[in-house]
Amino acid sequence: MENNNATELDNVVVRFTGDSGDGMQLTGTLFSNLSAILGNEISTFPDYPSEIRAPLGTLGGVSGFQVHLGSSKIYTPGDNADVLVAMNPAALKVNAQSVKKGGIIIFDTDSFEKTDLNKAEFKTDNPFEELSISETTQLIPVPLSSLTQSSLEEFGFDNKTVLRSKNMFALGLICWLFNRPIDQAIHFLGNKFGKKPDILHANVKVLTDGFNYGHNLHLTVSTFLVEKSHETPKGSYTSISGNKATAWGLIAASKKAGLELFLGSYPITPATDIMHELALRKDLGVKVMQAEDEIAGITSAIGASFAGSLAATSTSGPGLALKSEGIGLAVMAELPLVVVDVMRGGPSTGLPTKTEQTDLLQALYGRNGESPVVVMAASTPADCFHFAFMASKIALEHMSPVILLTDAFIGNGTSLWKLPKLAELPDIHPNYSLPGMEGSHVSSRNEETKVRYWSIPGTEGFGHRNGGLEKDYYTGAISSDAINHEKMVNTREQKIENISQFLPELKVEGNVDADLLVIGWGGTHGHLMSTVNSVNKKGSKIALAHFNYINPLPKNTIEVIQGYKKVVVCELNSGQFATYLRSKVPNVEFLQYNKVQGQPFTVAELEECFSKLL
Amino acid sequence: METKELTIPYTAKDFKSDQYVRWCPGCGDYAVLNTLQKVMAELGVAPHNTAVISGIGCSSRLPYYISGYGFHTIHGRGAAVATGVKVANPKLSVWQITGDGDCLAIGGNHFIHSVRRNVDINVLLFNNQIYGLTKGQYSPTTKKGYVTKSSPFGTVERPFRPAELTFGARGTFFARLLDVDLKNSQISMLAAAQHKGTSIVECLVNCVIFNDGAHGYLAEKETRADRTIFLEHGKPLIFGKDRNKGIIAKCFNLQVVTIGENGITEKDLLVHDATCEDTTLQMKLALMEGPEMPIALGVIRDVPTETYDEALENQITEIQAKSKIKTFDDLIASCEQWEM
């Protein structure tokens, strides 16, 4: 290892960018996994266009993957990059502004010809000048394409196949830059391309040549060292995306509850990976039905729930809209159901691959009638596992649909995940009808919690007729009686409200005696926490109350919020949670900080906002 | 399916719930309900292993009247809910109750896809060619030109023919029954229940209030035998009050002939093959119309094919035998991991 000229850093951000076919997602994933294995904290964020293959070299086709690694706690994939890898001028143009002062730009000189510059709509021959890239930025020109070609000269591949490996050259170079041994990367490649020995061999060769290129040329930059993190609790870890963690959380819950897992789902960006992950798990008995549409996705799941499975459906905003009537049925039939909404930019088709928190009010209120459901939100890629598990537990124990909100940012991003064991997870006790209750009707319930008893078809003595029509509280028969309807509306509401008794209390992080309380929910926790920590370090007093449980709210919500003089609600929408809190928490002036750009917050913009408020 | 011992057979009464049946007096749905309860008894599946799923409409109230497990869901989605029920719990005998609006208008997409998947459910499609519960609008099966509240000058739409849709969606079972024809209805419905796969039974029912006599051409007792033909697999196509009419194929068309005239004998008649993969002849039979041809009742198509629920269970069994991942903890152990 070559550490002589190495600069030690607490954390570093690397952004890999290129055409969507350049393999930037794979390169970024490999690099973050390598770093995690060496003991770094990691957080990643893929940023890709909705076009599968936009015209080569154009601005619309730029795909990016950002990796943040650190020797102390990392909460976000980072705002700006210390190192940018740009495979072509379009990638440079789209990402130039997000390079830090004094940062490094590695670019493929072979892709910076006149025609390439034209495709990226540059007007002059000097893209760096045209983009006003700071003189402090270190440019590392590398002929990636031709070096890859000579690396693979003897393989006899066609040129297209050869150039597909140039991302490995870039990865090798980055590994050198960060003092990462490449053995582990070779091991990863072996897992990925094991069945195609030619491709594996070629990728390993290019990767090694890329590493040696940096090493031998002693490029005029110093390398970086990011030490092991000592803040991470000891244990076995992996790196996991939010969508995969969500899928696995559902599986864990089904095993814990002793039920089969059924997913009814229709492909939709950015949620489809949940279906992919579950479809792989036939070995664990998971039943996945790719439905004919979003409506069949949820209604087949409702059928599975009626028949006694842990049932779920996964979607994104437009799909949630289509599922509204189905959710209403699950409310009325009081059946357990998990609805996962991986939020993206809206309305309508909106920004399918970008992140937003704009479905909150749809989740809370987007149905006909008085139709309360449990609404919760995950905060990080890894904790999608916990919240998918908890969503299932609540659905089964309280006989209600639960909407779990995640978003494109945490769904596709990855973070470190401490591997759980099934035995360590909380027990799940579905609210079954019990022996001795034979002959009970469909609306029979626990009078204290208002939770209906669940009778599974196939069980003798518990036959019943469920449905979307209002039921008589006392007999379960269909009823349009005025007083009964109101009683049933209140019963369903009380059932949901009562769940707050089982939820963890709202915690305050940062400086509890703060002058400013920052409120957030869901996937913004990382950016808010980083900012709050940074502001506190600079001497101001600021705290964060971050919500994962939204309906019902944690039972100490009012008390916590009313304890602060100044409160600002930060969210990636125009103020939906603030609106909701105003209806739930009296006598508080809720300030707002909102961003609706299809992108996560940056720590810098939040810090600017908070410093103005302090 | 759990089969009750023959010594204590079920009766139709075992499948009656305690709910008062609320259809209009004279509604054709009563006859189908009674037939269904008899068929369920004959099948021998216990009420608690029977699930009846419906959407919205007059006929979709039916689950309330059957003992065992029932689910009255939302408009058009019965097929998807029933699919979920069967896939989640393949031991259940699953019935879907739907009408021409519920099934073919708002639920058209779910209908064709459940038929395509061939999930093992029995679908009773109550076709009265009208929307009854919303009080008299035309449906996707209403005859062109028919005056309803939403077509005061007659509809300008061409109707669906459910058999064509079923065959087009690669259906494996199609039968047709007439509400007043109790004996034959029972035969068709029982065959539907015994067929593995999505069994579509088009039930021609009369709406006394909004479309009285829609099927009157067939329903009249005196002329019914001459205007309909009850198809039976493996038997020649004979019909008529005097059992002397038959159907032959001439070129690519079907033709009614009289046995004993022009040298025609029973041997010249077509023999019904419900199990034939090729739908050509079954389609021709299903689409016969009066007055030239009799209208086909009974089981028109019944082709054994692997069901969706079976295929899924088989795939799970196969993968489970091969995979090293047997438990959740195995799954965790399988991922790329490192100590920190």
Contact B74 A326 (CB under 8 A): yes
Tokens of A157: 């591949």
Residue B313 located in a structural domain: no
**Cis peptide bond prior to A552, omega within 30° of 0:** yes
A292 CB neighbours in chain B (<8 A) are 80, 109-110, 113
**What is the tens place of the pLDDT at every residue in B37-73?**
999 999 999 999 999 999 999 999 999 999 999 999 9
pLDDT in tens, A282-299: 999 999 999 999 999 999
CB contacts of A278 in chain B (<8 Å) are none
Is residue A459 very low, low, confident or very high in pLDDT (cuts 50, 70, 90)?
A: very high
In a domain, B300, yes or no: no
Average pLDDT (B16-27) is 93
Q: Are the C-beta atoms of residues B53 and A501 closer than 8 Å to each other?
A: no
The pLDDT of residue A219 = 59
How close A14 comes to chain B (CA, Å)? 22
pLDDT at residue A506 greater than cutoff 90: yes
Band (pLDDT 50/70/90 cuts) for residue A1 is: very low
Interface touch B74/A284, C-beta < 8 Å: no
Q: What is the rounded CA–CA span in Å between residue A60 and residue B187?
A: 63
pLDDT of residue B1: 47
What mean pLDDT is predicted for residues B72-80? 98
Q: Which residue type is seen at A216? A: N
DSSP A548: S
Nearest to B87 among A289, A416, A420 (CB): A289
Domain residues for the domain of B123 are 12-219
Cβ contact (<8 Å) for B328 and A251?
yes
Cβ–Cβ gap B328/A422 under 8 Å: yes
pLDDT band at A3 (very low <50, low <70, confident <90, very high): very low
- Which pLDDT score, from 0 to 100, does residue A112 have? 94
Which residues, other chains included, contact A192 with Cβ-Cβ below 8 Å and sequence gap of 6+? A26, A200
Residue ranges of E strands in A257-302: 261-265, 287-290
Supply the pLDDT for residue B7: 54
Strand partners, A261: A310
Instruction: Please state the pTM of the whole predicted model.
Output: 0.93
| Residue of chain B with shortest Cα separation from A459 | B48
Judging by beta carbons within 10 Å of its beta carbon (0-12, 13-18, 19+), is residue A245 exposed, middle or buried? buried
Query: How do residues A19-30 score in pLDDT, each as one tens digit?
Result: 888 889 999 999
Say what the pLDDT of residue A220 is.
Answer: 62
* A-chain residues near B48 (CB < 8 A): 457-463
- Whether residue A49 contacts residue A353, with contact meaning beta carbons closer than 8 Å, is answered with yes
Contacts of A196 (CB under 8 A, 6+ apart): none
Query: Could you say which of B74, B84, B91 has the minimum Cβ distance to residue A304?
Result: B84
| HEC secondary structure over A335-359 | CCEEEEEEECECCCCCECCCCCCCC
pLDDT at A51: 74
Point out the least confidently predicted range of A55-69, A416-430, B201-215: A55-69
Contact between chains at A457 and B49 (C-beta distance less than 8 A): yes
pLDDT at A348 over 80: yes
Q: What is the pLDDT of residues A548-581, one digit of tens each?
A: 999 999 999 999 999 999 999 999 999 999 999 9
pLDDT tens track for A187-234: 888 888 888 999 999 999 999 999 999 888 765 666 778 888 888 889
Among chain B residues, CA nearest to A306: B85
Average pLDDT over residues B92-104: 98
| Residue A47: pLDDT band with limits 50, 70, 90 | confident
* Residues B105-133: tens digit of each pLDDT: 999 999 999 999 999 999 999 999 999 99
User: Any idea what the CATH number is for the domain that residue B179 is in?
Assistant: 3.40.50.970
Q: Is residue B21 one of the residues assigned to a domain?
A: yes
Question: Among all chains, which residue has been given the structure tokens 């495709």?
Answer: A119
Q: Cis link prior to A270 (omega < 30° from 0)?
A: yes
Q: Is residue B250 part of a domain?
A: no
- What is the H or E stretch that residue A65 is in? strand A62-70
Q: Does the beta-carbon distance from A238 to B338 stay under 8 Å? A: yes
Selecting from B77, B331, B339 the residue whose C-beta is nearest the C-beta of A299 gives: B77
Count CB atoms within 10 A of the CB of residue A415: 29
Chain B residues with CB-CB distance to A462 below 8 A: 48
Q: Is B187 among the domain residues?
A: yes
Domain count for chain B, please give it.
1
Alpha-carbon distance A249 to nearest alpha carbon in chain B (angstroms): 10
The per-residue b/e assignment along A506-529, b for 16 or more CB within 10 angstroms, e otherwise, is: bebbbbeebebbbbbbbbbbbbbb
Angle at A227 between CA A223 and CA A232, to 5 degrees: 150
Q: Residue B85 pLDDT > 90, yes or no?
A: yes
Tell me the residues of chain A between 512 and 541 that have a Cβ less than 8 Å away from chain B: none
Domain membership flag for residue B302: no
| B64 contacts A296? CB cut-off 8 A | no
Judge: B340–A264 Cβ closer than 8 Å, yes or no: no
Tell me the average pLDDT across A45-63.
84
| Beta-bridge partners for A342 | A406
β-bridge pairing B295-302 and B173-178: antiparallel
Reported ipTM exceeds the 0.85 cut: yes
Q: How far is CA B62 from CA A340, B51, B185, in A?
A: 33, 12, 17
Residue type (1 letter), A389? F
Separation between Cα atoms, residue A266 and residue A440, nearest integer Å: 36
Ordered structural domains, chain A, with CATH: 7-226 (3.40.920.10), 238-424 (3.40.50.970), 431-502 (no CATH), 508-613 (3.40.50.920)
What percent of chain B has a predicted confidence (pLDDT) above 90? 94
What's the average model confidence in pLDDT over A99-103? 89
Chain position carrying tokens 């939302």: B74
Please report, rounded to a whole number, the percentage of residues in chain A having pLDDT higher than 90. 82
Asked if residue B53 belongs to a domain, the reply is: yes
Assign 3-class secondary structure to chain B: CCECCCCCCCCHHHHECCCCCCCCCCCCHHHHHHHHHHHHHHHCECHHHEEEEECCCCHHHHHHHECCEEEECCCCCHHHHHHHHHHHCCCCEEEEEEEHHHHHHHCHHHHHHHHHHCCCCEEEEEECCCECCCCCECCCCCCCCCCECCECCCCCCCCCCHHHHHHHCCCCEEEEEECCCHHHHHHHHHHHHHCCCCEEEEEECCECCCECCCCHHHHCHHHHHHHEEEECCCCECEECCCCCEEEEEECCEEEEEECCCCCCCHHHCCECCCCCCCCHHHHHHHCCCCCCCCEEEEEEEECCCCCHHHHHHHHHHHHHHHCCCCCHHHHHHCCCCEEC
**Chain B contact for A465 (CB, 8 A cutoff):** yes
pLDDT band at A439 (very low <50, low <70, confident <90, very high): confident
Q: Tell me, yes or no, whether B275 lies in a domain.
A: no
For residues B292 and B253, the answer to whether their CB atoms sit within 8 Å is no
